[in-house]
Amino acid sequence: MKKLFLAVALLFTIGLVAQEQPSGISVNGEGTITVVPDEVLIQVYIQEEASSAQKVKENTDKVIDEVLKYLKSEKIPQKNIQTEYVRLGKNVQTSKYGNVPNAVNFYANQSISVLITDVSKYDEITRGLLELGINGINSVQFKSSEIEKYEAQARLKAIADAKSKANEYAKALEVKVGTPILISESSNTYSNPQVFRTMEMKQSSVSSSNTQTLAVGEMEIKAQIHVVFSIIN
């Protein structure tokens, strides 16, 4: 009796799973839009060291204050400036005869991200930041101010791609494609020319105001969907 009950329960479960799986032509579609970025997001950092905690904080605050004032003078909106991290600490050097403190050195690291909506001003702004005392750039990322519009276009291309594949399968099977009964979307992906490396800022690297150091290139916006179409016999 127990075995019969388990068998019935198993068949019932299988039946439910089968009902949950939509029948039809199941395909994946992908759409890609290529655009030229019109914004650049940079992350700069400041690094200071001093013999006292008060001094290292004063030095860091002074550079940060000058950086923020400079960015304001360059018409960078406050909403496009964000502190990424602040790190404070100390290094204790011990004598060679034991763990007796020999010297204490305090340090501070701070990083700020800046969204530049005019890519042509990249060199000018980074040059100005260097002169104010930043130590380098952690990363450079290209973006588009109309990303939502391009995402919508990529989705439409993904849907068209999925429908085209479904029609190919239907033609081979001598059936017709019906209405979609299931649609799911994967996360949108972006493939763009990003620079994820620390670049130490040196005066010699920006000696000429006419030097162009940034190659914008193009970025790809991709949308991926999964569609199940009903079958018309």
Domain finish residue from 103, 119, 143: 143
CATH label of the domain that carries residue 169: 3.30.110.170
Pair (221, 138) in one structural domain: no
Is there a contact between 112 and 81 (Cβ–Cβ < 8 Å)?
Answer: yes
pTM (predicted TM-score): 0.69
d(CA 32, CA 160): 12
Q: What is the pLDDT of residues 81-132, one digit of tens each?
A: 999 999 989 887 766 655 556 677 899 999 999 999 999 899 999 999 989 9
- Looking at the domain assignment, is residue 229 inside a domain? yes
- Looking at the domain assignment, is residue 13 inside a domain? no
Number of residues that this document lists for the chain: 233
d(CA 84, CA 107): 17
- Looking at the domain assignment, is residue 199 inside a domain? no
- Looking at the domain assignment, is residue 101 inside a domain? yes
Among 185, 189, 119, smallest CA distance to 150 is for: 189
pLDDT given for residue 25 in this prediction:
93
Among 45, 207, 228, 46, smallest CA distance to 137 is for: 45
Q: What residues make up the domain containing 119?
A: 39-143
Is there a contact between 106 and 133 (Cβ–Cβ < 8 Å)?
Answer: no
Is there a contact between 38 and 226 (Cβ–Cβ < 8 Å)?
Answer: no
Pair (70, 156) in one structural domain: no
Pair (48, 78) in one structural domain: yes
Q: What is the pLDDT of residues 163-199, one digit of tens each?
A: 999 999 999 999 999 999 999 998 666 665 544 334 4
- Cα→Cα distances 125→40, 145, 158, 175, Å: 12, 19, 39, 61
- Looking at the domain assignment, is residue 1 inside a domain? no
